[in-house]
Structure 1
Amino acid sequence: MVGTTDSRLIIIRGNSGSGKTLLAHAIREARPRGIAIISHDVLRREILHVRDHPESLSVGYIDLSARFALNHGLHVVVEGILHSESYGEMLTRLVEDHAGVSRCYRYHLDLAETLRRHRTKSLASEVSEEQVSSWHRPFDPVTTLPEIVFDATVSAESALDAVLSDVGWERRKTSLP
């Protein structure tokens, strides 16, 4: 087993620009301390600098990082695109091995909404809409995870409230854009 019965593991997946990172940081902001954010983008692109595919080093690195943090008394939010064929099996094992509360969320947005949200990000000047379109997946569930779906009707505030409630945490006064 990994973590403790008191630890929380939160997985947030979805297409580029959907709001995963915003939600992860809002979760951290809502708690006084003790939350590690394991970011797919940071570990894969910035630390390892590898391409994404099922055998990528990032799969094991995300797993190792989450387990390390959970075993050292931290709650963990794993967030990223995390395509099902590359990360699904690892995420399923992580949830199965976790001794505490685990919750999984997936943003399910159409391409038009994904591009609209992408335009609001600072990264939009570096990553073209054509690139975002090429990465977009209309449907990418991990069927072995109990994923709660956030669609375009779910605001950032509502998503945060749902996650905090699902893991049994109260919300401090924070607001999202």
Structure 2
Amino acid sequence: MGVGHGGTRLVVVRGNSASGKSSVAAGIRERFGRGVALVGQDNLRRIVLRESDLPGAANIGLIDTVARYALDAGYHVVVEGILYADRYGDMLAALIRDHRGVSHCYYLDIPIEDTLTRHATKADLAYRTRVTERELRTWYRERDLLPGRLETVIGADSALPDTIDRIMNDTGLAGLPAHDN
């Protein structure tokens, strides 16, 4: 079952907590303009469904459905989140397989020490207080890559603008016009 069309772009940005996924996704959208749908795991799982991140949870199907709908509507899609490989890998592989356009996956590989430092600088004090170092260490999975070498690994040495530039160029989004709607 094909999804999207030959001109749509699907970008998956994965990594541990505080690795920069949301900032990268927002930067891609800002740089491109109208026509990029952000499908954020945290928004759909925590806000829309108020669900824990468990194997087989409803958010997995919701992420897939929203991404497919947006691609079919002609949007480029950025799916971003921790998206553990053992829980979300099958869904992501099927989405990539079914996408008629260009698909690219990225894993932001940030060491646990950098994760802890970045978490401490988050603007949301309530979140920083609620999510402790113990939880961050529990959630952390080193190099939790999808099977089949689907992902390009981007290390901690890549600055945010450089990461956004790379993804924009790799995917071809840099050369496409924004939607005018």
Q: Name the TM tier (shorter chain).
A: over 0.9
Spell out, residue by residue over 1:17-60, the C-alpha distance to the aligned partner (whole angstroms, 9 max, x if none).
00000000000000120111000000001111111122100110
Q: When the two structures are superposed, what TM-score results if normalisation uses the length of structure 1?
A: 0.93
The equivalent residue for 1:32 is 33
Taking only the aligned residue pairs, the percentage that are identical comes to: 41
Letter of the aligned partner of 1:158 in structure 2?
Answer: D
How far apart, CA to CA, are the structure 2 residues paired with 1:46 and 1:144? 31
- Superposed, which structure 2 residues align to 1:27-106 within 5 Å? 27-106=28-107
The equivalent residue for 2:140 is 136
3-state DSSP class of the match of 2:14?
strand
Shift of 1:144: 2.8
The equivalent residue for 2:170 is 166
How far apart, CA to CA, are the structure 2 residues paired with 1:169 and 1:92? 21
How far apart, CA to CA, are the structure 1 residues paired with 2:8 and 2:173? 12
Conserved 8 A contact 1:13-1:81: yes
Conserved 8 A contact 1:7-1:101: yes
Conserved 8 A contact 2:9-2:173: no
How far apart, CA to CA, are the structure 1 residues paired with 2:78 and 2:167? 11
The equivalent residue for 2:179 is none
Q: When the two structures are superposed, what TM-score results if normalisation uses the length of structure 2?
A: 0.91
How far apart, CA to CA, are the structure 2 residues paired with 1:159 and 1:112? 20
> Which range moves more in the overlay, 136-145 or 90-99?
136-145
The equivalent residue for 1:127 is 131
Spell out, residue by residue over 1:95-129, the C-alpha distance to the aligned partner (whole angstroms, 9 max, x if none).
01000010000011111011111111123233222
Shift of 1:89: 0.5
3-state DSSP class of the match of 1:5?
coil
The equivalent residue for 1:157 is 161
* CA RMSD, 1 decimal: 1.2
How far apart, CA to CA, are the structure 2 residues paired with 1:111 and 1:78? 23
3-state DSSP class of the match of 1:93?
helix
Shift of 1:139: 2.2
Conserved 8 A contact 1:44-1:52: yes
Q: Which runs of 5+ in 2 are unaligned?
A: 176-181
